[in-house]
Copies of this chain bind each other. A is one copy, B any other.
Amino acid sequence: MLVVMKALATEEQVRAVCQKIEKLGYRAHPMPGATRTAIGITGNKGEVEQGTLEEMPGVQEVIAVSKPYKLVSRDVKEENTVITFSGTAATIGGPGLAIVAGPCAIESREQAFTVAERVHRAGAQFFRGGAYKPRTSPYSFQGLGEEGLRIMAEIRQQFGMKIITEAIDHESLDLVEEYADVIQIGARKPVLLKRGMSATLEEFLMAAEYILSEGNYNVALCERGVRTFADHTRNTLDLSLVPAVQRLSHLPILVDPSHGTGKRNKVTPLSRAAVAVGADGLMVEVHHQPDQALSDGPQSLFPDQFDELMTQVRQIAAVVGRTVPAIGVREPAAVSK
């Protein structure tokens, strides 16, 4: 259910409607737009009685939302969500593409800094690296844990890149929240939500809806391949998801061609394709010695390949009306978190 306020409704009127909703036992999600505010209603109790709210001052109409998700929908918020960060001009969802790069896992201070220096110089504004790795085999490298998080915090300090890393349970989440700028599942901070390998578009949007319904609206989505019979890549990267998400939702969507294909030689062509299809950013694995990587080496680019990828992506971004930071330009305000 969605309450659309009049264009001239006062803040007080919006607040009154929200209080009424909460008093009825539901949760109110005011979402200010360019011309008017909409208030999403969520709750575990079925539909609220429409008449109750329709008569309140400042309310234009109360509409039922037919889709199973609400807060992620363009019906509720027409403008694109743009996630901003303190201390940097970089955004996720703005006109500039969000370029996320780094190794699959943080393996050592030296490895992390070597890669960070290179991807930063090539224009990446976000540094990715795993500290807790959910591996298929219990006998594989599981990540450095808190030490990995500490290394990434130093990288943020030195290069001004924002940090994206993955939490896998409650313990790791607490630590990750302490150190990272964007987390890949979660709570109050910006969240990068990865599509499950067998999630439909609707299920993916519903997973995001869970996070928004808890009051965290800073969610970016990430396509990273689905499971199919095709065996020439690890998963099948589903680029058609990008325009499909953008039609239905205001949330930004990135593409991860590294996990999506599992093969180094496919990463650059599919990064070009992802930008061409209209993605809001890329998430790419880079490693200076992929043959010695403790995880995902075969899909990690060499730093020189990442340079080349950025050059190509920059040109294609221009064609679709997006920008990418120039090579080696340190963003001015990129000092602290």
Binding site for B on A (CB under 8 A): 42-44, 68-70, 136-142, 169-170, 196-198, 200-201, 203, 206-207, 209-210, 213-214, 226-233, 236-244, 247, 260-261, 265-266, 269-270, 272-278, 312, 315-316, 319-320
Residues of B contacting A240 with CB < 8 Å?
Answer: 232-233, 236-237, 260-261, 266, 270
Complex A-B: 19 CB contacts under 8 Å = A68-B139, A69-B137, A70-B139, A138-B206, A196-B198, A227-B227, A227-B229, A231-B231, A233-B244, A240-B261, A240-B266, A243-B266, A243-B269, A244-B266, A269-B276, A269-B277, A272-B319, A273-B277, A276-B316
A229 with B232, Cβ < 8 A, contacts A243-B269, A266-B243 known: no
Question: Chain B contacts of A228 at CB under 8 A?
Answer: 226-229, 236, 238
B273 touches A239 (CB 8 A): yes
- Asked if residues A269 and B278 are in contact (CB atoms below 8 Å), the reply is yes
CA distance A273 to B260 in the complex (A): 15
Q: Closest B-chain residue to A208, C-beta based?
A: B138
CB neighbours of A312 from chain B (8 A): 319-320
Cβ contacts under 8 Å, A43 to chain B: 139
CA A206 to CA B169, docked complex, whole Å: 19
**A172 CB to nearest B CB, Å:** 11
Besides A198-B229, A226-B230, A276-B277, 5 other A-B contacts (C-beta < 8 A):
A136-B206, A138-B213, A200-B230, A243-B270, A270-B277
Residue of B169, B200, B214 near A231 (CB, 8 A) is B200
Pick from B269, B278, B319: contact of A242, CB below 8 A. B269
